[in-house]
Amino acid sequence: MIPNVLTIAGVDPSGGAGVLADVKAMSALGAYGMAVIAALTAQNTQAVTRIAGVPSDFVAAQIDTLFADVRVDAVKIGMLGQESVTLAVADRLAHWKPPHIVLDPVMVAKSGDHLLEKKAIHALREALLPLATMITPNLPEAAVLSGHTAPETLKDMRRMAERLRRLLGDEDDCWVFLKGGHLPGEEAIDVLHNGDRLIELPGRRIHTRNTHGTGCTLSAALAALLPRHPDVPEAARLAKDYLLRSIARADELNVGSGHGPVQHFHAWWPEP
C-alpha cells in the first residue's frame, strides 16, 4: 500500500526547502505527498527577505479537514514560525494521533536567517517534542532544545542524543536522529538513539555548496520510509543514503547563485 505522508511546514518559493522539497522527497521515495502550509517566506538561494505567518486557526483547519477525509500514515513537521502555530499543530496532532511524527525543529535557514520566533521554542519543546516519534535536529538546534552547548565531538553527540531522548515520550519507539554535519572532518556521522540503542550512522562528506534543504529532505524521507520500514534503524539508513545521493548529484542542477537545492530525483532523472 502506498503511504500517504503529510508535511506541515513553510513554503520556500525556490523549491529547495520547505513543503516543495518535502513533497519531492516523498514522491521520489514512493509515498503520496500532502502539505499543510504553516508559514510563508520570500526566499531564494541566497537569503530570506521576508516571512509572513499563517493564522493558527487556518493551520488547524487545514489539518482537521485533511485528517477527516484522508488516511495519514506519517507526518513530517518543519518550519512553523510562530508560537501560536506551534501550539495549534501540537493540539491537532494530539487529537488525530498519526502513527509516525517526524519533527525537524527548523530554527535557522542555510542563509543564517531565523525562521522560528524565540518565544515559540518553549512551545516546540513542551508541546510538540512529547508527541514526536522521531526528531531530527542538527547540532545548533540540539543545543537550543537541550539548553546545553552544541556538541563538538562524536562523544559529545552521544551525550546530547541521550539528553534529547529524555524530552520525548516514554515509548520505546521514540527516536532521536542527531545530525553531525556541523562537526569538522571528512566524515558526516549521525547518531540514532531510542533510550536503549545508540547507533552511529556513518557517511562521507560531499563537497558542494548546493546543500539547501538537506534537513527538510532527510526528515521528509524518514516520514516517507517509516510506514513501510518498521525497523527504524533500517529506515534511517535508507533515508540517509537517499540524502547523500541527492547531495552527490546536486551540482547537476543550476538553481540560483547561492546555496542551491539537492537533486531529489537523482534516481529518476538521467545524469547529464
The angle formed by the CA atoms of residues 80, 86 and 89, to the nearest 5 degrees, is 100
Is 118 designated active site? no
Catalytic residue among 76, 211, 240, 260: 211
Is 214 designated active site? yes
Q: Are the beta carbons of 17 and 213 closer than 8 angstroms?
A: yes
Choose among 59, 6, 20: nearest CA to 265: 20
Choose among 181, 193, 183, 187: nearest CA to 262: 181
Catalytic residue among 213, 217, 240, 260: 213
Catalytic residue among 76, 110, 179, 240: 179
Is 24 designated active site? no
φ, ψ (nearest 5 deg) of residue 74 = -160, 150
φ, ψ (nearest 5 deg) of residue 33 = -90, 140
Catalytic residue among 10, 15, 16, 215: 215
What does the alpha-carbon distance between residue 94 and residue 101 come to, in Å, rounded to a whole number? 11
Is 174 designated active site? no
Cell numbers given for 25: 522527497
- SS3 of 74, please? strand
Catalytic residue among 15, 136, 216, 260: 216
Is 215 designated active site? yes
Catalytic residue among 76, 214, 217, 240: 214
Catalytically active residues are: 179, 211, 213-216
